[in-house]
């Protein structure tokens, strides 16, 4: 809230003085009364001073806020003096100082001063000194237009190969050749981007079969990236097939697509090598194709984009040409399972109908390594973080943006608005599923498969083994008899119909169960949808179940072993299943169109009958449209986009695509439903309505009118205006608190943005953490999965691999800290103190046996010392503790036993005569009564 010094605004900057010497000056921020200085506008400075010199100056540091004027003298707006004591004890907390008039030789320079100046201060660390020193050097380079090496830039692999640069090389360079081996002529292809450095002769030219076989071998070079701690994602880009040619054909049809892949996962960006002039590129094990990504949040999708590389020599090309993108859902995958996934690459557009599978396929190899699956599930209870990644080049920035979000929907485009409306209307297809579910529910159609055995007449076919019945064990006999006299059959139980019937019957009799049933119905709906999803025979389109996540919470991992999925498993059944629902949706759309046409036809007939007036005005024609409504429609487009993101997230939770969120909502609904059973809702409702009626409708409301409401109505104008001023003042105080909160968030965001722009690049992209994509990418049926078997390693080799000594390491873009943030890097090794490795499953048998001697992760010496301590404690307890306890028990028994015996005797002597006389009199009365009645 700085004062206005120019026409409607000010151009403030700050000058810092110590002992009347200028030690720092910020840049001026034009036309801003609420300026925020960041790293780019020189908000930071390093003040080096001795303690004696600091405390000798009573005034400390003087911060003068000045209005910049280009053609006249600058105007002083106010000043702040910070005491040496505050500077000495400051720990980077934010402090606001009110601007004061600056006194110069006893004269007040500025009488009317308003506004505040917020400061942060702390003692500089060695990292702070090095950071500011490097920043000054980079600022000088930027002023001279010299290239700057960014600090901690995101992991972007250097693109190897021509990348489409140079037609001469493309035409001249030979990519394939024919060789005669014996009597056969084979075609060999040149390996790109380069042959294996260890086998250059054998891997310079290879046949197609050899290339395919070699590409599936284990990768040698892994790039470790990211800042998460929950899990590790091992990703390998194997190949792309059938991608379109996006380059201009030149010469002998040799200029083809130069493919490379961009990977975005949370706070890291990765790229593969470029494969020149190839429509089915294969990335070899020795190239940059393998990545170890660190997970921060369980729901984070893995984004992979495929692009055609365009050389920087093409100055008229703004970005690399996109071929397709894939959104890999990691929540469906199991740990310790190796997945070979093939995805379809789609041609994307603004509308849903523009998405067509014409751009080939991509094959990846994926594996998850989760140290603690229980922690993975519990971490979903925390809100997902907001993640932005930066890039230093615009072309790479556009690639990252396309990889994360596909078509750019942030620019104003009427087609984008129409696509949003089309997507909202597409959700009407849910009517098909709801109608089918309602019919199955009301008509008691089975939905839960149960295997039972029914008795049958034994036949000669299943009589084999009857002769050897005497030689069988009891268990084998029982099994034989069951197989012979019964047969296995599957029945469908209408569990959901039973649940609905029981709930409806009990709710009609006891309406107080309504709150509990409302919560229970949420859990019931989610579990029913989960069961519906698992009716799909496609193994790649099934989420994790409620049971799997419960087992993880209870025992740390699912009880069932990792799945094995073969190629083309249930392909026919899955195709038939999808076709069935597609036909139902098409029939619904057809009926809807016919219904609309019939309604329009009937309305037109009625209008022709009822029309009696004729419009004499001229019909307006559509003319040239230059989007004059852009200022009005752009906010509508953005709001529709935000609304659709919320709708997509809710849809994904409902369909168990966000299985962890769906699980916790189901658990919360069950807990609230059970808890609501014990709340006396009838009592609460009755007494709440009673109190409301008696308090608000009784004759004592006249007293409210006399002593409160009538006084407000009869106020004079001055009192009314005073009351309105008080209300406005309280309202302004509330708004000021909200503004202050918003301003603090804006301040932190701008400072972090400037810091990340310097450290990683000026182009920033938001990376979705939860699933908000319009489309779901499901692996094709050529995909497969199998349990991952670790190769047995020695202790030394396992420790080296776990430490990642042979991997390239690039930190993610997550920063932590207030003033000068640092990298939030994941710990390279989570091994306990004194332990060689954390995962003993990788060890050979001999190494595993030796590792088992490490009790609790200790070294041998510490383990032996603990064993000695345990033995010593046992000896002391045996020879000292046991005799002491025995003697104490004997003493207690000896002292307390006579007291107990005497107490019992005294009680018997006192109470026995009374009890015996009472019993005797009762018996005599009953006998006399019996005799008289008889």
| Straight-line distance from the first to the last Cα atom of the chain, in angstroms, rounded to the nearest whole number | 108
Instruction: Answer positive or negative: Cα dihedral of 735, 739, 745, 746.
Output: positive
DSSP structural state of residue 116: E
State pLDDT tens for residues 283-341: 999 999 999 999 999 999 999 999 998 875 554 556 788 999 999 999 999 998 999 99
DSSP structural state of residue 9: S
Domain boundaries, the chain: 12-143, 167-408, 448-493, 495-601+631-714, 790-857, 859-934
Q: Are strands 184-190 and 176-181 parallel, antiparallel or unpaired?
A: antiparallel
Q: What number of CA atoms fall less than 13 Å from residue 289's CA on the CB side? A: 30
Residue 156 near residue 273 (C-beta atoms within 8 A): no
Instruction: Tell me which H or E stretch contains 242.
Output: none
Residue 222 has a CB neighbour count (10 Å cut-off) of 20
What share of the chain in percent tops pLDDT 70? 78
d(C-alpha 251, C-alpha 195), whole Å: 26
DSSP structural state of residue 7: S
d(C-alpha 30, C-alpha 377), whole Å: 49
Residue 404 near residue 767 (C-beta atoms within 8 A): yes
Residue 742 backbone zone (phi > 0: left; psi -120 to 50: alpha; other: beta): alpha
Cβ-based burial of 785 (10 A; exposed 0-12, middle 13-18, buried ≥19): buried
d(C-alpha 513, C-alpha 506), whole Å: 8
Candidates 379, 412, 353; CA nearest to 300 is 379
3 state SS of 845:
helix
Residue 176 is predicted with a pLDDT of 80
Domain 167-408, CATH homologous superfamily name and number: C2 domain (2.60.40.150)
Chain mean position to CA 518: 28
Candidates 347, 288, 295; CA nearest to 322 is 347
Residue 147 is predicted with a pLDDT of 52
Residue 58 near residue 154 (C-beta atoms within 8 A): no
Q: Look up the pTM and report it.
A: 0.79
Q: What number of CA atoms fall less than 13 Å from residue 741's CA on the CB side? A: 5
d(C-alpha 665, C-alpha 829), whole Å: 34
- Find residue 322's DSSP bridge partners: 307
Contacts of 377 (CB under 8 A, 6+ apart): 298, 549, 552, 553, 660, 663
List the strands of the sheet with 808-810, edge to edge: 784-787, 337-344, 361-369, 231-241, 290-295, 222-225, 808-810
Burial annotation 85-119 (CB, 10 A radius, 16+ → b, else e): eebeeeeeeeeebebeebeeeeeeeeeebebebeb
Residue 236 backbone zone (phi > 0: left; psi -120 to 50: alpha; other: beta): beta
Residue 108 is predicted with a pLDDT of 43
CA distances from 309 to 123, 231, 275, 324, 533 (A): 48, 32, 9, 13, 40
d(C-alpha 824, C-alpha 803), whole Å: 18
Instruction: Answer positive or negative: Cα dihedral of 759, 763, 764, 765.
Output: negative
What are the helix and strand counts (H, E) for the chain? 25, 28
For 56, the token pair is: 């000798």
DSSP structural state of residue 705: I
3 state SS of 175:
coil
Vertex 415, ends 412 and 419: CA angle to 5°? Answer: 115
Residue 274 near residue 209 (C-beta atoms within 8 A): no
Burial annotation 250-276 (CB, 10 A radius, 16+ → b, else e): eeeebbbbbbbbbbbbbbbbbbbbbbb
Residue 879 backbone zone (phi > 0: left; psi -120 to 50: alpha; other: beta): alpha
Dihedral of CA atoms 874, 877, 879, 881 in degrees, nearest 10, equals: -170
3 state SS of 261:
strand
Residue 802 is predicted with a pLDDT of 63
Residue 847 is predicted with a pLDDT of 47
For 417, the token pair is: 């608005």
Contacts of 797 (CB under 8 A, 6+ apart): none
Chain mean position to CA 350: 25
Contacts of 174 (CB under 8 A, 6+ apart): 190
Candidates 256, 306, 291; CA nearest to 157 is 291
Task: Split the chain (934 residues) into runs of 10 and give each run's mean pLDDT.
Answer: 83 90 91 90 90 82 89 86 88 88 56 81 90 84 57 40 47 72 82 89 90 92 88 94 79 74 92 90 93 92 92 62 91 92 84 73 93 90 89 88 84 80 80 81 81 73 56 75 78 85 89 90 91 89 91 88 89 89 81 80 67 42 52 80 88 91 93 90 90 88 82 76 84 85 88 88 89 89 89 64 66 84 62 54 51 45 64 71 69 66 66 66 64 58
Q: Provide the residue count of the chain.
A: 934
> Any idea which fold 12-143 has?
Immunoglobulin-like (2.60.40)
């Amino acid at each position: 809230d700085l004062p206005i010094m120019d026409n409607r605004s000010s151009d403030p900057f700050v000058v810092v003085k110590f002992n009347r010497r200028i030690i720092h000056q910020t840049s001026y921020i034009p036309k801003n009364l609420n300026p925020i200085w960041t790293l780019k506008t020189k908000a930071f400075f390093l003040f080096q001073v001795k303690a004696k010199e600091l405390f000798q100056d009573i005034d400390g540091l003087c911060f003068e806020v000045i209005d910049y004027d280009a053609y006249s003298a600058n105007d002083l707006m106010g000043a702040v003096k910070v005491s040496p004591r505050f500077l000495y004890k400051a720990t980077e907390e934010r402090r606001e100082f009110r601007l004061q008039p600056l006194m110069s030789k006893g004269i007040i320079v500025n009488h009317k001063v308003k506004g505040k100046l917020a400061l942060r201060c702390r003692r500089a660390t060695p990292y702070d000194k090095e950071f500011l020193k490097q920043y000054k050097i980079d600022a000088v380079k930027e002023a001279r237009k010299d290239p700057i090496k960014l600090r901690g830039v995101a992991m972007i692999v250097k693109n190897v190969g021509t990348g489409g640069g140079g037609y001469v090389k493309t035409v001249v360079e030979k990519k394939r050749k024919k060789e005669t081996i014996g009597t056969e002529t084979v075609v060999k292809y040149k390996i790109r981007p380069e042959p294996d450095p260890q086998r250059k002769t054998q891997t310079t030219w290879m046949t197609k079969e050899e290339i395919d076989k070699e590409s599936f071998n284990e990768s040698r070079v892994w790039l470790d990236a990211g800042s998460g701690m929950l899990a590790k994602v091992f990703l390998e880009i194997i190949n792309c097939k059938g991608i379109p040619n996006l380059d201009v054909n030149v010469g002998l049809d040799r200029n083809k697509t130069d493919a490379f892949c961009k990977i975005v996962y949370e706070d890291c960006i990765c790229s593969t090598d470029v494969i020149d002039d190839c429509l089915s590129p294969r990335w070899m094990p020795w190239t940059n194709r393998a990545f170890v990504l660190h997970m921060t949040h369980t729901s984070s999708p893995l984004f992979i984009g495929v692009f055609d590389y365009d050389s920087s020599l093409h100055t008229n090309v703004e970005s690399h040409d996109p071929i397709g993108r894939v959104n890999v859902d990691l929540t469906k995958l199991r740990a310790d399972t190796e997945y070979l996934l093939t995805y379809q690459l789609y041609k994307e557009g603004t509308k849903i109908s523009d998405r067509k599978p014409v751009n080939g396929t991509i094959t990846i190899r994926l594996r998850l390594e989760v140290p603690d699956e229980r922690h993975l599930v519990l971490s979903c209870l925390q809100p997902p973080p907001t993640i932005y990644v930066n890039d230093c080049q615009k072309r790479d920035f556009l690639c990252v943006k396309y990889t994360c979000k596909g078509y750019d929907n942030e620019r104003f485009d009427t087609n984008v608005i129409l696509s949003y409306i089309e997507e909202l209307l597409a959700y009407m297809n849910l009517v098909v599923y709801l109608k089918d579910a309602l019919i199955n529910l009301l008509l008691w159609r089975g939905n839960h498969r149960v295997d039972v055995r029914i008795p049958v007449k034994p036949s000669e076919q299943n009589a084999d083994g009857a002769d050897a019945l005497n030689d069988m064990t009891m268990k084998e006999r029982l099994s034989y008899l069951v197989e012979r006299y019964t047969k296995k059959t599957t029945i469908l139980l209408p569990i959901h119909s039973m649940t609905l019937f029981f709930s409806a019957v009990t709710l009609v009799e006891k309406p107080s169960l309504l709150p509990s049933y409302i919560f229970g119905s949420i859990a019931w709906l989610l579990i029913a949808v989960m069961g519906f999803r698992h009716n799909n025979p496609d193994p790649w389109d099934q989420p994790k179940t409620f049971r799997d996540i419960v087992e993880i919470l209870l025992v740390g991992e699912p009880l069932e072993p990792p799945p094995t999925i073969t190629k083309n498993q249930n392909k026919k059944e899955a195709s038939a299943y999808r076709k069935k629902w597609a036909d139902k949706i098409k029939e619904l759309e057809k009926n809807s169109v016919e219904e609309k046409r019939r309604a329009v036809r009937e309305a037109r007939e009625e209008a022709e009958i009822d029309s009696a007036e004729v419009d004499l005005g001229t019909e307006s024609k559509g003319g040239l449209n230059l989007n004059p409504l852009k200022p009005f429609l752009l906010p509508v487009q953005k709001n529709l986009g935000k609304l659709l993101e919320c709708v997509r997230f809710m849809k994904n939770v409902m369909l168990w695509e966000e299985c962890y969120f769906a699980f916790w909502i189901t658990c919360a609904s069950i807990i609230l439903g059970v808890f609501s059973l014990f709340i006396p809702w009838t009592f609460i409702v009755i007494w709440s309505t009673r109190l409301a009626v008696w308090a608000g409708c009784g004759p004592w409301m006249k007293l409210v009118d006399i002593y409160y409401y009538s006084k407000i109505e009869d106020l004079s104008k001055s009192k009314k205006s005073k009351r309105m001023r008080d209300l406005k003042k309280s309202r302004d105080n509330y708004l000021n608190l909200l503004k202050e909160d918003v301003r603090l968030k804006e301040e932190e965001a701008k400072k972090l943005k400037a810091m990340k722009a310097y450290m990683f690049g000026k182009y920033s992209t938001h990376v979705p953490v939860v699933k908000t994509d319009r489309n779901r990418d499901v692996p094709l049926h050529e995909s497969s999965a199998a349990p991952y078997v670790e190769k047995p390693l020695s202790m030394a080799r396992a420790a080296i691999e776990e430490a990642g000594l042979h991997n390239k390491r690039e930190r993610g873009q997550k920063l932590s800290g207030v003033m000068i943030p640092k990298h939030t890097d994941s710990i390279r090794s989570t091994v306990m103190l004194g332990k060689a490795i954390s995962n003993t499953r990788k060890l050979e048998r001999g190494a595993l046996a030796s590792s088992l001697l490490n009790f609790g992760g200790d070294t041998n010496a510490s383990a032996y010392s603990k064993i000695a301590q345990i033995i010593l404690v046992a000896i002391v307890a045996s020879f000292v503790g046991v005799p002491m306890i025995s003697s104490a028990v004997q003493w207690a028994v000896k002292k307390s036993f006579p007291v107990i015996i005497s107490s019992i005797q005294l009680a018997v002597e006192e109470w026995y005569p009374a009890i015996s006389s009472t019993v005797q009199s009762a018996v005599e009365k009953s006998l006399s009564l019996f005799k008289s009645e008889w």
